[in-house]
Amino acid sequence: MLAELLLNWYDLHQRRFVFRGPKDPYLVWVSEIMLQQTRTETVEDYYIRFTKRFPDIRSLAAADEGDVLKAWEGLGYYSRARNMQKCARVICDKYGGIFPDDYEKVRALPGIGPYTTASVLSIAFDRPYPAMDGNLTRVLSRVYGVRECVDTPAVAEQLRRIGEREMPARRCGDFNQALMDIGATICLPGTPDCEACPLQEICDACKKGDAPALPVKKEAKPPVPVSVSVLIIKQGGRVLMQQREQTLLKGLWTYLLFENKDRDQILSELKRAGIECVFLREMGKAVHVFTHRIWNMTIFECEMRPELNVPAGYLAVTKNEMEKLPMPVAMKAARKLCMDEVFVR
């Protein structure tokens, strides 16, 4: 019953996106990875650019990591891009560049979790795996009246089994995408529009009137605020950059960043690294919110003496060179100040 209602509705009301047409598993995979933690409307432009630059698994596997990160710049959660490239290389090495169609093989690839495995296999190969994301969890918990906390493995598995049980013999990808679309447009968190919903007649939460309270979830911890000094250190017509090694924003280029440190601590740390510089002025402030932390940034212009060598591990770049480096969105305000006010002096 669920599948029939869903597919009839989907035929008339599905959302149309550029990445919805092709059944090529590589293209489905790229779009599914991009769609994690990113709004669907935002993904379209990135998807077009990325798949033009890397049209197949082999081109992604052969690319320079910096080029992949550059093509991903602005989408955030950069480990997704790095893992995609690792994954493309494994597919080339182990499967001759052909995306596998077996659940265990796909699930074992780097950066591919149960959700991505199920969505790629169902959409590209019509395999009966429910793609359990936030939308499917919300819609299924409401329709089938699951009122226990969905963050526990047992309840998550209960919902996955419901999805599996209700999956039609054909059009498995459409079944998943119909649930995603209803979750994204009608069965919204907090404010479901039951009057407009094709599942109203079979929905337990709608009948009992507690749909806005479902699904039951653990309270999320708020992100931790961190004070970050962003140092734009100039030397002649160049500015010092550093490539991040930390898990957060790994591989991307930033100005020199110092968390929760005062000016004296920063200067002595820099001296130890072979960078002697002076603070010239505070240029501005910026805030960037990650999932688990908030960077409260103060941006400084600094100067390093021209006769000093740039130590290993840092790059001194011109304006043009900076434009080509993959930089995170968290650096957007600092980068603008650098471009507008530092490079012109």
Give the active site residues. Answer: 32
- Which positions from 205 to 234 touch ligand SF4 by CB under 6 A, shown as an x/- string? xx----x-----------------------
Residue 187 within binding range of ligand SF4, rule CB under 6 A: yes
Minimum CB distance to ligand SF4, residue 204 (Å)? 8
Q: How far is CA 250 from the centre of its chain?
A: 14
Bridge-based pairing state of the strands 293-304 and 224-235: parallel
> How many whole angstroms separate alpha carbon 227 and alpha carbon 82?
27
Residue 32's closest CA among 42, 22, 48, 19?
Answer: 19
> How many whole angstroms separate alpha carbon 126 and alpha carbon 114?
16
State the DSSP string of 261-300.
--HHHHHHHHHHTT--EEEEEEEEEEEEE-SSEEEEEEEE
Q: Which of 7, 194, 216, 280 touches ligand SF4 by CB under 6 A?
A: 194
Instruction: For residue 216, count other CB atoms closer than 10 A to its CB.
Output: 15
Minimum CB distance to ligand SF4, residue 170 (Å)? 23
> How many whole angstroms separate alpha carbon 320 and alpha carbon 336?
14
Residue 297 within binding range of ligand SF4, rule CB under 6 A: no
Task: Tell me the window of 9-17, 28-36, 118-126, 198-206 that interacts with ligand SF4 (CB under 6 A).
Answer: 198-206
Q: Which of 35, 106, 109, 143 touches ligand SF4 by CB under 6 A?
A: 143
Nearer to ligand SF4 among residue 55 and residue 212 (C-beta): 212
Instruction: For residue 52, count other CB atoms closer than 10 A to its CB.
Output: 9
Minimum CB distance to ligand SF4, residue 74 (Å)? 33
> How many whole angstroms separate alpha carbon 243 and alpha carbon 256?
9
Minimum CB distance to ligand SF4, residue 167 (Å)? 17
Residue 331 within binding range of ligand SF4, rule CB under 6 A: no
Q: Which of 27, 61, 167, 199 touches ligand SF4 by CB under 6 A?
A: 199
Nearer to ligand SF4 among residue 74 and residue 134 (C-beta): 134
Minimum CB distance to ligand SF4, residue 161 (Å)? 18
Q: Which of 38, 42, 200, 298 touches ligand SF4 by CB under 6 A?
A: 200
Residue 249 within binding range of ligand SF4, rule CB under 6 A: no
Sites for ligand SF4 among residues 80-139 (CB under 6 A)? 139
Residue 192 within binding range of ligand SF4, rule CB under 6 A: yes
Task: Produce one character per residue of 63-77: b if its CB has 16 or more CB atoms within 10 Å, e if not.
Answer: beeeebbbbbbebbb
> How many whole angstroms separate alpha carbon 327 and alpha carbon 78?
10
Helices (H), the chain: 2-13, 25-35, 40-53, 57-62, 65-72, 79-95, 103-107, 114-125, 134-143, 153-166, 172-185, 204-208, 263-272, 319-324, 332-337
Minimum CB distance to ligand SF4, residue 173 (Å)? 20
> How many whole angstroms separate alpha carbon 249 and alpha carbon 82?
11
Binding residues for ligand SF4, rule CB under 6 A, total 15
Task: Tell me the window of 60-68, 194-202, 257-265, 297-305 that interacts with ligand SF4 (CB under 6 A).
Answer: 194-202
Q: Which of 197, 240, 283, 337 touches ligand SF4 by CB under 6 A?
A: 197
Where does this chain bind ligand SF4 (CB under 6 A)? Answer: 139, 142-143, 186-187, 192-194, 197, 199-200, 203, 205-206, 211
